[in-house]
Amino acid sequence: MSEEKRRYYRKNVELFLLLDKMKLWPSRTGILHGIRSVERNGEFAEITTHCGKTFRVYNSRTSRAARWLRNKWVSRPCKDCKIPEWKLEKYSTTFFAQHYGSDLRHKD
């Protein structure tokens, strides 16, 4: 893995911004889904995956989803979502750090 391909985000990045950027959703069963749309509605957002699941999530930096994404606690990508290889590759070269990286609110 070349150093310049790595990207860093802040650990405390806002969940919705992160989901909107990565377009990936870690399910409780360890499956990584592709996100088709994120519709914000105040502190909640309606997430629709490519395999047709829709659910509401609360915008929390400390939510399970945020933690799972950061720690890469997923075992396999969803077959029905057909996440492209480049996106999985991008995810595998994404890291989260406390004092380094983008918080997605401004350009670094």
Contact residues: Zn ion, CB under 5 A: 33, 49, 51, 78, 80-81
If the CB atoms of residues 31 and 104 are measured against Zn ion, the closer one turns out to be 31
Residue 104 CA from chain centroid, whole number = 12
If the CB atoms of residues 18 and 24 are measured against Zn ion, the closer one turns out to be 24
Q: How far is the CB of 7 from Zn ion (least distance, A)?
A: 24
Q: How far is the CB of 51 from Zn ion (least distance, A)?
A: 3
Q: How far is the CB of 82 from Zn ion (least distance, A)?
A: 8
CA angle (28, 64, 61) in 5-degree steps: 150
If the CB atoms of residues 80 and 103 are measured against Zn ion, the closer one turns out to be 80
**At 78, which amino acid appears?**
C
Q: Establish how many alpha carbons lie within 13 A of residue 46's alpha carbon, considering only the half-sphere containing its beta carbon.
A: 5
Query: How many Å apart are CA 99 and CA 71, to the nearest integer?
Result: 16
